[in-house]
Amino acid sequence: MGEIQKFQYDNKIVRNFLYASVIFGLVGMLVGLLLAFMFMFPKLTDGISWLSFGRLRPLHTNAVIFAFVGNAIFAGIYYSTQRLLKARMFSDLLSKINFWGWQLIIVAAAITLPLGITTSKEYAELEWPIDIAIALVWVVFGVNLIGTIIKRRQRHLYVAIWFYLATFITVAVLHIFNSLELPISAFKSYSVYAGVQDALVQWWYGHNAVAFFLTTPFLGLMYYFVPKAAERPIYSYRLSIVHFWSLIFIYIWAGPHHLLYSALPDWAQNLGVAFSIMLIAPSWGGMINGLLTLRGVWDKVRQSPILKFMVVAITGYGMATFEGPMLSLKNVNAIAHFSDWIIGHVHVGALAWNGMMTFAIVYWLVPKLFKTKLYSEALANFHFWIGTLGIVLYALPMYVAGFTQALMWKEFNPDGTLVYGNFLETVQQIMPMYWMRAIGGTLFLIGLIVLIYNIAKTILAGESVTDEAAEAPALEKVASKRTMGETFHQWLERKPVQLALLATVTILIGGAAQIIPTLVVESNIPTISSVKPYTPLELEGRDLYIREGCVGCHSQMIRPFRSEVERYGPYSKAGEFVYDHPFLWGSKRTGPDLLRVGGKYSDNWHFNHMYDPQSTSSGSIMPAYQWLITSKHDRSAIQDKMRAMVTLGVPYTDEDIANAFESMDAQAAKIEDNLHADPDFVRSYEDDKEYAKQAGVEFVPMKDREITAMIAYLQRLGTDIKVK
């Protein structure tokens, strides 16, 4: 045995991440609740562009995933890693950079997303300078983690550490490949991938962000904190080895199940389905391992709110990971996709698995960090019950809503017409479900507020231990090769570099097998000669569509079902999206699909609809976009944008680029002309002119306002191959 060394655990960094998680959790959930109420009251934030639904939705998802859950991950990892490795974190400075860098990124997200600065790719909405910051801070975290592993005093790496390592490696790979984009300016870039390829890379990322940000780090935390809270070792360490390797191997293949029945090549869809079904095995292996750790101590579960939170969290993990593979069966997916079922599904994962596990860790850690007892077990129990009730009240109505609406979308009359031809009828039908969901969300949030009160009281009563004394023998050197009687995995458990390399290879296999062929095999994306690049004005309009987050509620992907073809027009072909940087297929239909909305309504209809959606569509829950109609449109960057598109393979000629401004002017003037067909428009437009003259303010002609570009884009959608 080596000499006994004295050292200190860094508790301050754990405490900081814990505070950040709770505070940003409150913010993220408040934004979520506001969004939930906007379904009933679409005019709740009327006229305030930065509080509009489309811009707040990504703020909610980013805040909950990266701020609430992200900070909880760091808190749990920084606490458990130090103890499992019997070492202080590698560098206090790196810990600090990790903490403050991450919070700065969150603040940057909270500012840019409401301003409409977004790439529109789900959970990767942040623009390129923030993407670079994320990569840097993530590397700092990785260096700190690996540095700690290297200077450890515990020879073997516990399974939780493997999960943390795999998290670091995979998130880095995913983030970098999905964020490859060509900058136009400091706040605008275009994805280097187009259409189908962009969709595949995005959902390889999106799915694995769920896998390696919301799942693997939390499984690591489960393997540490559940045994600690239950005061007994994990049920089966062997099972945890199988769990780890099979989970990271299989997870990475399942991304295409987000694109079933889309224009993605069939072989990729089927591969995604097959691996999604297989995923049940490792997921449930992990769930069973977590739950069975509590065998024989169920009496403790009755008394300890912490263990209760953990049981609901692990059960939620089990439900979500059973539901996931079921949802990736094509026939189930045909019903669930684009509906509120998916919203229910993700919230079982987020509220139960991530939320309840985070709460358990907070209740367990705070008394430890402040050398005291929890202020009130009764309040923690109250939190548990109101939180659990909140999850049930959130999820169940969403399942009912999803089924109801999807079945209504598909219902035909005997004469072959749609029973609910008006999309709004299917929205009105599920309004009571939206009410219940908002109530469920409110209950969950009340629980969080109770937690904040409870831990604040605990903290005030305790005393902070920022550096906790510990001691352990130094690690003696052993042969780097396998020693006598040592099996391969025993050897691997003490070799972090080899373990990390193997994990990297494991996760790269699946990604490579799907993505490389889609990117390089031409026959996967048949070109369509009638599909032409967007005109400059349409391109600008498309950027407005991205800015306003329209993709959050409207898909642009008509699946090859009779019901969809009847409602929206010919189904989508891969070749239609070859100039779409980024793709805008969407993942949710709160409103109807827009792929072939071009030419369906008049320019005036779009104008009035954007100004006051309820005026053209009675009972609509779409918010108004008055600022599109009143704001002057800055189109000065169009030539840079077109040049960037040329770099990415869009065939604009030099002449197209040189004439961009004339072309935009002409197309916009035509739309302004069309708008004059409506006498109401003419009257209010003239009044507007008169007002500007009298008030002495600059009058912006309609053709120079944002709405004309938006109308140009909407009227273009799907017309390239539209059957007249």
Partner 1 sequence: MLKFIKPYMEDIEGIATYPMISLVIFFVFFVALFWWVATATKDHVKEMSHLPFEDNQQNYKEQ
Which three-class secondary structure state does DSSP give residue 588? Answer: strand
Minimum gap (Å) between residue 487 Cβ and partner 1: 5
Minimum gap (Å) between residue 307 Cβ and partner 1: 13
Task: Indicate the residue among 5 and 719 with the shorter CB distance to partner 1.
Answer: 5
- Buried (b) or exposed (e) across 646-665, using 16+ Cβ within 10 A? bebebebeeebbeebeebbe
Task: Indicate the residue among 198 and 704 with the shorter CB distance to partner 1.
Answer: 198
Minimum gap (Å) between residue 136 Cβ and partner 1: 22
Task: Indicate the residue among 376 and 602 with the shorter CB distance to partner 1.
Answer: 376
How far is 548 from 567, CA to CA, in rounded Å?
Answer: 25
Task: Indicate the residue among 232 and 600 with the shorter CB distance to partner 1.
Answer: 232
Task: Indicate the residue among 128 and 681 with the shorter CB distance to partner 1.
Answer: 128
Task: Indicate the residue among 83 and 600 with the shorter CB distance to partner 1.
Answer: 83
Hey, what amino acid is at 253?
Answer: W
Handedness of CA 564, 601, 541, 666 (dihedral sign): positive
Closest to 141 in 3D by CA, of 182, 175, 110: 175
Task: Indicate the residue among 289 and 667 with the shorter CB distance to partner 1.
Answer: 289
Contacts of 460-463 with C-beta under 8 Å, sequence gap 24+, read 461/370, 461/372, 461/375, 462/367, 462/369, 462/370, 462/371, 462/372, 463/370, 463/371, 463/372
What would the two tokens of residue 45 be?
């934030």
Minimum gap (Å) between residue 662 Cβ and partner 1: 31
Minimum gap (Å) between residue 513 Cβ and partner 1: 6
How far is 27 from 668, CA to CA, in rounded Å?
Answer: 41
How far is 280 from 285, CA to CA, in rounded Å?
Answer: 8
- Longest Cα–Cα distance of the chain, Å, equals 94
Task: Indicate the residue among 471 and 634 with the shorter CB distance to partner 1.
Answer: 471
Instruction: Give 90's contacts (C-beta < 8 A, 6+ positions apart).
Output: 143, 144, 145, 146, 147, 148, 150, 151
Residues forming a β-bridge with 50: none
Minimum gap (Å) between residue 197 Cβ and partner 1: 8
Across 396-554, the runs of DSSP E, i.e. the strands, are: 467-473
Minimum gap (Å) between residue 228 Cβ and partner 1: 6
CB–CB of 212/170 below 8 Å? yes
Minimum gap (Å) between residue 83 Cβ and partner 1: 4
Residues forming a β-bridge with 332: none
Helix-then-strand count for the chain, H and E: 31, 4
Minimum gap (Å) between residue 209 Cβ and partner 1: 22
DSSP state of 704: G
Task: Indicate the residue among 86 and 635 with the shorter CB distance to partner 1.
Answer: 86
Point out which residues bind partner 1 (CB under 8 A).
80, 83-84, 86, 154, 156, 158-160, 180, 192, 223-224, 227-228, 231, 233-234, 237-238, 241-242, 245-246, 249, 367-368, 371, 373, 465, 468-472, 487-490, 493, 506, 509, 513, 516, 519-521, 649
Minimum gap (Å) between residue 385 Cβ and partner 1: 23
Task: Indicate the residue among 373 and 683 with the shorter CB distance to partner 1.
Answer: 373
Task: Indicate the residue among 79 and 341 with the shorter CB distance to partner 1.
Answer: 79
Minimum gap (Å) between residue 519 Cβ and partner 1: 6
CB–CB of 707/628 below 8 Å? yes
